[in-house]
Amino acid sequence: MAVAGARLEVALPPPPLDLKGSLTIIDERTGKKYQIQVSENGTIKAADFRKITTGRFDKGLKLYDPGYQNTAPVRSSICYIDGDEGTLKYRGYPIEELAESSSFMEVAYLLLLLADWEFAVSQHSAVPQGILDMIQAMPDDAHPMGMLCSTMSALSLFHPDANPALRGLDLYNSKQVRDKQIARICLFGFFTHSTFCHIAPTIAAAAYSKMAGRPPVLPLNKLSYSENFLYMLDSSGNRAYKPNPRLARVVDVLFILHAEHEMNCSTAAARHLSSSGVDVYTALAGAIGAAYGPLHGGANE
């Protein structure tokens, strides 16, 4: 922390896994002493530094951290990642274990109410015809991420029931409304390391078909998540087409590996947008835009 002449004294309890304690700051500019609480995870609240002032016209200290190098903007129990150690866990489950023995849909709900989850997702697989027409109107050489970003944003026009600007800012206080949108858009992480289920893969497959000069193919509810994605890519509308099971498993593992990557660029973008009260589709379109960048999701290309 850049405070000229300040001395820091940290008092932490002995247990090595519990970092809860207090941070004592003596500001030698004024001689004042401050106590700031440290959480059990070793974090402090940036807003607590506002009380460190030099006088009447001083609004308090602000933390300067370009690029979120040492800032935790949200607390989450969903994912833990340590790039230096090569560790990735979803709700405590090692990614190696999940990739070896679980399907993508199981990972999506971690075995909780799986049948209900699969049914709910299958009921929201249809993409409005206007969205498919929009894809067909795009240039043949359009980048799929650009198509996905544009069509995801346009989806808000087809689902006014999901727009807080039209239904009220308390719209997403309802668990039923939240669950409906999660099932509708579910597992967005394939492109942005965040979470969308059937609509986005359907749009992505339609974008691929457009690039290949073929009409879009709609999903089949009888197929698994990854099988459906391959079906929409390769079947050319032949309902008897059966995706290669080994390839479907590879795609499933790929989805699992990309399902959640903590507070990355696209997740932060979606949270920033949603904090303004926009609908979920606009927020996700912004996240896709972030993932389009060559320093984030675009690096996968």
Q: Are 181 and 254 in contact (CB under 8 A)?
A: no
Q: Are 195 and 260 in contact (CB under 8 A)?
A: yes
What pLDDT does residue 52 have? 92
Q: How many CA atoms lie within 13 A of 110 on its CB side?
A: 12
What pLDDT does residue 122 have? 61
Q: Between these two residues, 193 and 38, which has the higher pLDDT value? A: 38
Over the stretch 227-270, which tens digit does the pLDDT of each residue have? 888 998 889 889 999 999 999 999 888 887 777 777 888 888 99
Q: How many CA atoms lie within 13 A of 87 on its CB side?
A: 10
What pTM, to 2 d.p., does this model score?
0.58
Residue 129 has pLDDT above 60, yes or no: yes
Identify the burial level of 235 via C-beta atoms within 10 angstroms of its C-beta, where 0-12 means exposed, 13-18 middle and 19 or more buried: middle
Superfamily classification of domain 98-300: Citrate Synthase, domain 1 (1.10.580.10)
Q: Where are the CATH 1.10.580.10 domain residues in the chain?
A: 98-300
φ, ψ at 9 (rounded to 5°): -125, 120
The residue written with tokens 């602000």 in the block is 62
φ, ψ at 37 (rounded to 5°): -75, 140
For the CA atoms of 101, 106, 109, 111, the dihedral, rounded to the nearest 10 degrees, stands at -70
